[in-house]
């Protein structure tokens, strides 16, 4: 399959990088496309084209300079690709600032399309929350819901966005699901970021199709880490048993 070639290319690129290679452009400067996470849209198939665009092409043409590793874990019944990205092209060593990217695919009967794109990113430098929120708004539009929970001087924030191309009946059902009560406790809200998709479905609802952005704000109003996720719950149900 094509993702195997992606993984091999990533490995060869890492081995072939010259020792004197200086760090190049930042990934953040590249990753700013509307309704994409790490340049990846929902619904993109593993092997086929989406609107003339291939997954392999995105990896080869755009992500390749940042890739440290990319693989499909053996023995996992859920088809997915795990990729580790450097925050800046040409960086030579692993870093606690590396970006982790996960891409999960639906059943073969539904075209093995991406139903979950998740990027977790410790930011290379703290960013004021207002600046961060403006960039997120430019990518996903107005939030359908934002939840904030504080623990002393630190705050955890989760914002939810409904995909604009979702059919009206599904979008209305998704909006009703998002409107439900969410945890008001800091730790409970922060823990949602690490849940698998089944756990998130209990909060987002089975009809959710959109984005979830989670981040922490320190006592100085700076965002130092974040996650961005694109989720299509109805498509995920082709391979996952979701709670009603």
pLDDT tens-digit profile, the chain (244 residues): 444 444 433 433 333 333 333 445 677 777 778 999 999 999 999 999 999 999 999 999 999 989 989 988 876 778 999 999 988 776 666 677 789 999 999 999 999 999 999 999 876 567 899 999 999 999 999 999 999 999 998 999 999 999 998 888 888 989 988 888 888 899 999 999 889 998 899 889 999 999 999 999 999 999 978 999 999 999 999 999 887 5
**Considering only CA atoms, which of 161, 163, 230, 226 is closest in space to residue 190?**
226
Residue 5 pLDDT: 47
Q: What is the pLDDT of residue 10?
A: 41
Joined tokens for residue 127: 């960013």
Q: Which two tokens stand for residue 35?
A: 């309704």
Q: Is the dihedral of CA 107, 112, 113, 115 positive or negative?
A: positive
10 Å CB burial of residue 121 (0-12, 13-18, 19+) is: buried
**Which pLDDT score is estimated for 58?**
93
Pairing relation of β-strands 114-128 and 99-105?
Answer: antiparallel
For residue 136, is it left (φ>0), alpha (ψ between -120 and 50) or beta? alpha
56: its two tokens: 């392999």
Rounded distance, CA 238 to CA 240, Å? 6
Please report which helix (H) or strand (E) contains residue 3, including its range: helix 2-16
pLDDT at 11: 38
Instruction: Report the pLDDT value the prediction gives residue 21, as an integer from 0 to 100.
Output: 37
Q: How far is CA 238 from CA 44, 61, 102, 110, 115, in A?
A: 15, 30, 18, 7, 10
**What is residue 18's predicted lDDT score, i.e. its pLDDT?**
34
C-alpha angle 202-178-78 in degrees, rounded to nearest 5? 40
**Structure confidence at residue 116 (pLDDT):** 96
pTM: 0.85
């Amino acid at each position: 399959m094509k993702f195997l070639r992606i993984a091999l290319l990533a490995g060869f690129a890492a081995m072939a990088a010259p020792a004197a290679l200086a760090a190049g452009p930042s990934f953040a400067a590249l990753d700013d496309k509307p309704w994409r996470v790490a340049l990846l849209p929902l619904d993109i198939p593993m092997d086929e084209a989406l609107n003339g665009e291939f997954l392999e092409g995105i990896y080869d043409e755009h992500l390749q300079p940042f890739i440290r590793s990319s693989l499909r874990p053996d023995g996992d019944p859920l088809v997915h690709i795990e990729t580790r990205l450097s925050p800046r092209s040409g960086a030579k060593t692993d870093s606690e600032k590396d970006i982790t990217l996960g891409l999960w695919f639906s059943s073969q009967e539904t075209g093995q399309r991406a139903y979950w794109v998740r990027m977790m990113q410790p930011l290379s430098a703290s960013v004021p929350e207002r600046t961060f929120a403006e960039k997120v708004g430019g990518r996903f539009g107005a939030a359908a819901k934002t939840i904030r929970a504080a623990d002393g001087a630190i705050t955890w924030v989760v914002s939810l966005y409904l995909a604009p191309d979702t059919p009206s009946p599904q979008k209305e059902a998704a909006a009703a699901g998002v409107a439900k009560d969410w945890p008001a406790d800091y730790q409970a809200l922060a823990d949602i970021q690490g849940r698998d998709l089944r756990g998130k479905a209990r909060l987002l609802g089975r009809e959710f199709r959109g984005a979830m952005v989670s981040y922490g704000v320190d006592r100085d109003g700076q965002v130092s880490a974040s996650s961005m996720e694109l989720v299509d719950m109805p498509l995920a149900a082709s391979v996952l048993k979701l709670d009603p």
